[in-house]
Amino acid sequence: MMMGGGGGGRMMRNQARPAGSSWRLLGRAAALFRPYRWAFAALVLLLAVTTTFDLVAIRLLGSMVDQMTATGDVSSLDRLLMIFIGLVVASALLGVVQAYTNQVIGQGVMLRLRSDLHDHLQRLSARFYTQTRTGEILSRISTDVNAVQQSVTGTFTEFLANLLTLTIAFALMFTIEWRLALATLLLLPFWVYPTMRVGQHMRDLMRAWHEETAAMSSHLEETLSVSGSMVVRAFGRQEHERERFEASNHELYSLAIRRMMAGRWFNMATGLFGALIPGLVYWYGGRAVIGESLSPGDVVAFAMLVQRVFGPFASIARINTTLLSSLALFERLFEYLDMPVEVEERPDAVRLERARGAISFEDVSFAYTSRDRLALEDVSFEVQPGMMVALVGPSGAGKTTTTYLLQRFYDPTKGVVKIDGHDLRDLSLDSLSRNIGTVMQDTHLFHASLGDNIRYGMLDASDEQVRAAANAAGLDEMIERTPDGLDTVVGERGYRLSGGEQQRVAIARAILKDAPILILDEATASLDSRLEREIREATDRLSEGRTTVVIAHRLSTVVAADLILVFEHARVVERGRHEELLGHEGLYASLYREQFREQGVTPG
């Protein structure tokens, strides 16, 4: 169970992984900023102004050196100091505005990306969730998005600021000594190629690290959940799971070290060269001062500007590797955003108000994937409003798939499913959902209060309506004996409740929803006789006046059904009422008698 999910997740990743170069991914990521283009233009202007102020202030320091060594004019020195202080203070104040603008843009992009990702995931079919591990999905929408946020709000702005620093600093350097500035400029391209190589390596390592992190999250989500931990303990697999976790943990350890060490030699060389450059500048500048072609202030200003050039360039080299590695995160997010929505609502979808409850399947065939055998093959039947139809047959015959298609979790491969004469593909998804209520065998409850779990059937229901639904489902005794009543927290997946109580909550939720079509996946097979009878009485009350589709595991529960559909090998092989099917002496009669023999009862 726990081992099987990973393969499906990898398959989905390989199918959806967006193709294209780093430039295409970068362009697509940059498109996320389009709604903030004016704020982005303001950010660029602020960065340009603050960078200019900072670098002009450095040039003023050179002028102050010249004032000290030349005229000794104190008033000029004072004036230069006032200008210097003004530039530094103005740069600092504008830096606050710049930081705020940067956060507005970055957080806005992340807000939109998270919303788009969540909305798209909500629209994907059940196929995606059956083939992808929950931990993998959570890793993408939380860990990956948070990591991208750091790149958007920090790394990109730093990259832009350093680029502006290089441009403005070189402009000032060329005004001081063009030959030395040109020599400095010619050295920079030698860093471009190794920077790109290191960046690609970092991107590969970043992708591997995040995929391993997602795998670990999936493993922990499966084994540390309530149900997962019980399975681990029941089978004594603690040591096995520890070994699996340690293998993943050591792989993360190895990848993290490789990530941190990637490009360190290159960064060391860049830093070493940046440290040596000022000495070379002072050596060359000193000779120029002696030759009277440069002033001491020019040499000091040029040396400081060179440090401002190689510092940002070394940072750009590191930022470039970070940006390229961040593309791996964007790539992982775009993989999900690019997954096709199989069950799509049409633009002109019909809004079905309260359905009468007529259901029809017309030559419906369906396969979960193109490689799978058909789960349903040429299935046709009609159900009139208010009827109870029972789906019976061996496991894997197509009963549950029929209910999935009725709820439009999937669209049929062939044929049409209709409600009140409307093709489900022509109906709006929300109106379809409102008209169908479900009580499934595997009841899913949220880690919230009992009242909130019931209210999920109708979010705007009052406390009185919630309590009435709970009482109708037979929860009144339990509510009375618990100190918190409807405020009782049910625990993860409802594990603080018994199986019968979980079923009652699901019934109460369906009662509150009050849908005209009801799907019941009979969940009483594992309950004792008294509890089974009580749950069945509650579901009988719930079924009154509704079109009801029952997946019947115990054939004794469908004796009163208006129509029984017998499934075998994806087809409906028999249909009719209980007495008719017994008289046919076919599959239904065989299953019916077999169940009673197992229970030691002679069928009547």
Same domain, 389 and 446: no
Residue 279 within a domain? yes
Same domain, 230 and 363: no
Same domain, 566 and 504: no
Task: Determine whether 268 is exposed, middle or buried from the number of CB atoms within 10 Å of its CB (0-12, 13-18, 19+).
Answer: exposed
Contact assessment for residue 415 and residue 362, using Cβ atoms and an 8 Å cutoff = yes
In this predicted structure, what is the pLDDT of residue 417?
Answer: 95
Same domain, 487 and 589: no
- Reply yes or no on whether the pLDDT at 17 is more than 60: no
- Reply yes or no on whether the pLDDT at 184 is more than 80: no
* CA pair distance 579, 229, nearest whole angstrom: 46
CATH number, domain with residue 242: 1.20.1560.10
In this predicted structure, what is the pLDDT of residue 523?
Answer: 56
Same domain, 193 and 285: yes
Lowest mean pLDDT among 79-83, 169-173, 535-539: 535-539
- Reply yes or no on whether the pLDDT at 365 is more than 70: yes
In this predicted structure, what is the pLDDT of residue 509?
Answer: 85
In this predicted structure, what is the pLDDT of residue 63?
Answer: 80
Residue 154 within a domain? yes
Same domain, 158 and 265: yes
- Looking only at the bridges linking them, the beta strands covering 414-419 and 571-576 are unpaired
Task: Determine whether 291 is exposed, middle or buried from the number of CB atoms within 10 Å of its CB (0-12, 13-18, 19+).
Answer: exposed
Same domain, 208 and 250: yes
Contacts of 437 (CB under 8 A, 6+ apart): 457, 510, 513, 514, 515, 517, 518, 519, 546
Same domain, 421 and 454: no
* Most confident among 191-195, 225-229, 496-500 (mean pLDDT): 496-500
Same domain, 406 and 270: no
| 134-137 CB contacts, 8 Å cutoff, 24+ apart | 134/218, 134/221, 134/222, 135/214, 135/215, 135/216, 135/217, 135/218, 135/219, 135/220, 135/221, 135/222, 136/9, 136/214, 136/215, 136/217, 136/218
Give the CA angle between residues 57, 59, 60 to the nearest 5°.
65
Residue 333 within a domain? yes
* CA pair distance 365, 373, nearest whole angstrom: 11
- Reply yes or no on whether the pLDDT at 114 is more than 90: no
416 beta partners:
362
* CA pair distance 508, 502, nearest whole angstrom: 10
Lowest mean pLDDT among 48-57, 128-137, 512-521: 128-137
- Residue 443, amino acid: T
Residue 207 within a domain? yes
- Reply yes or no on whether the pLDDT at 345 is more than 90: no
* Most confident among 137-146, 159-168, 313-322, 387-396 (mean pLDDT): 387-396
Strand order across the 359-366 sheet: 376-383, 359-366, 414-419, 422-423
Same domain, 149 and 224: yes
Give the residue, 335 or 384, on which the prediction is more confident. Answer: 384
Per-residue pLDDT, averaged over 373-379, amounts to: 91
In this predicted structure, what is the pLDDT of residue 595?
Answer: 73
* CA pair distance 518, 511, nearest whole angstrom: 10
Q: pLDDT (tens digit, 9 = 90+) per residue, 44-69?
A: 899 999 989 988 888 888 888 877 76
CATH number, domain with residue 451: 3.40.50.300
Per-residue pLDDT, averaged over 274-300, amounts to: 77
Q: Render 193-220 in DSSP notation, one character per residue.
A: HHHHHHHHHHHHHHHHHHHHHHHHHHHH
Residue 35 within a domain? yes
Same domain, 368 and 220: no
Residue 10 within a domain? no
Q: pLDDT (tens digit, 9 = 90+) per residue, 444-463?
A: 777 788 888 888 888 888 88
Total number of domains constituting the chain: 3
Residue 342 within a domain? no
pTM confidence score: 0.67
* Most confident among 15-29, 318-332, 343-357 (mean pLDDT): 343-357
Contact assessment for residue 568 and residue 398, using Cβ atoms and an 8 Å cutoff = no
In this predicted structure, what is the pLDDT of residue 19?
Answer: 43
Among the candidates 307, 337, 367, a domain finishes at 337
In this predicted structure, what is the pLDDT of residue 118?
Answer: 83
Same domain, 324 and 370: no
Question: Residues of the chain with pLDDT > 90: what percent?
Answer: 13
Rounded (10°) angle between helices 499-513 and 463-472: 130
The mean predicted confidence, pLDDT, of the chain is: 79
In this predicted structure, what is the pLDDT of residue 415?
Answer: 94
C-alpha closest to that of 604 among 553, 550, 556: 556
Domain that holds residue 63: 25-337
- Reply yes or no on whether the pLDDT at 192 is more than 70: no
In this predicted structure, what is the pLDDT of residue 571?
Answer: 92
Residue 345 within a domain? no
